[in-house]
Amino acid sequence: MKASRIGGPVKRASPAGHKSSQKQAAERREKAGKVPPSASSNRFLRGGRIDPRRITGKERVVDLIEGTYLAYNAGRLREGCQLFTDKMLDPSVTVGLTMTGALTPAGLGMSAVIPLIEAGFVDWIISTGANLYHDTHFGLGLSMHRGNPQTSDVLLREEGVVRIYDIFFDYDVLLSTDAFFRAIIQGKEFQRPMSSAEFHWLCGKYVRERERKLGIGTKSLLGVAHKCGVPIYTSSPGDSSIGMNIAALSLDGNQCTIDPNLDVNETASIVLNAKRSGGRSAICILGGGSPKNFALQTEPQIQEVLGIDEKGHDYFLQITDARPDTGGLSGATPAEAVSWGKIDPDRLPDAVVCYLDSTVALPLLTSYALAKRPRRPLRRLYDHREAMMARLRAEYEKTK
């Protein structure tokens, strides 16, 4: 019920109403011990009430997220978990994951990304090369350790210790991992141009074999992606120690080359295939940076460059600590992405940004999803790259 005209009886208070009448009405209700009239008809007050359950110490992650993550960035994390689980993990949705920041050195490849891949919750990945390089340490049986970020870096250098903030590891971990990549890249199957997905798939095969020989179980997401047929791309192949070793071997005549043209077209074909197969496309972004743009530019590549009719990704979930007002891509909102054709404007309500550290949010998101959703069949998109590219080429030819 709306407030009446000024001077008349007021049923519901409003800052736009008659102040004296509203004040007197409140005083009369207080004296009579009555509560204000219900505001349930107000369209802005239809969200759940802030009435959290008490924390007892016996809660599951699902209980905490649904029962106590009610506002601010906790509320956005709850919305993100529910978007991911309720909509993005629908059997018809193809889910892409992007990764920036030093996630694998912190163990999140093993603790979170591998379980998501094995559960069929991640169908393809775009990562920084650094995450894949540091992921390989674990598959080779090399160790990384918790450390004190206040330790003198001069002292660490003298002791042969490298650090990523509060993660410490021996300098020989880098040398050993470099030697591993140089050894496998010189193999016959690497001597040609290829997409970064094919390169990482081949590397994953050798990492899995090293894990088997060492008897250390499953440690590397590269190895698991190989097993599960999940293609992994990197948006900047030269911007990591893996790319540096490829470049070094080229000086010796090695023919291994990562072809970015293949990456651009293959990733676009994955998104187009998701739509043309009667399904939808979802992107889960950890951080931002180049992998974020590389995943989202698939739609402008399809629409603007290839001239194929499309509308943008259907679901968008980002976990970031970047601000939107600096103009950087990492902080760009899904609403801004609509203007580029990256996000379907009709699906903008299905877009959530959580302003959180990925190392905090990802384990919670993973636990929530695994508790709420059964496993999905593996899509094995890597095995279907040629068919997806054929579909992309066929639609491109129609536009000429």
Positions annotated as catalytic residues are: 342
H-type alpha helices, 153-310: 153-158, 171-185, 196-214, 221-228, 241-250, 260-276, 289-296, 298-300
Please give the single-letter amino acid code of residue 168.
F
Contact 98, 125 (CB under 8 A): yes
Q: What is the DSSP letter of 327?
A: -
User: Within 10 A of 250 (CB to CB), how many other CB atoms are there?
Assistant: 13
Q: What is the DSSP letter of 343?
A: B
Beta bridge partners of 258: 194
Beta bridge partners of 315: 282
The H or E element that residue 77 is part of is helix 72-82
Q: How far apart are CA 337 and CA 329, in angstroms?
A: 10
User: β-strands 145-146, 315-320: how paired?
Assistant: unpaired
Beta bridge partners of 162: 169
- Nearest C-alpha neighbor of 266 from the set 136, 387, 158: 387
* φ and ψ of 361, to 5 deg: -75, -40
Beta bridge partners of 282: 95, 315
User: β-strands 93-99, 193-194: how paired?
Assistant: unpaired
* φ and ψ of 354, to 5 deg: -105, 120
Beta bridge partners of 351: 316
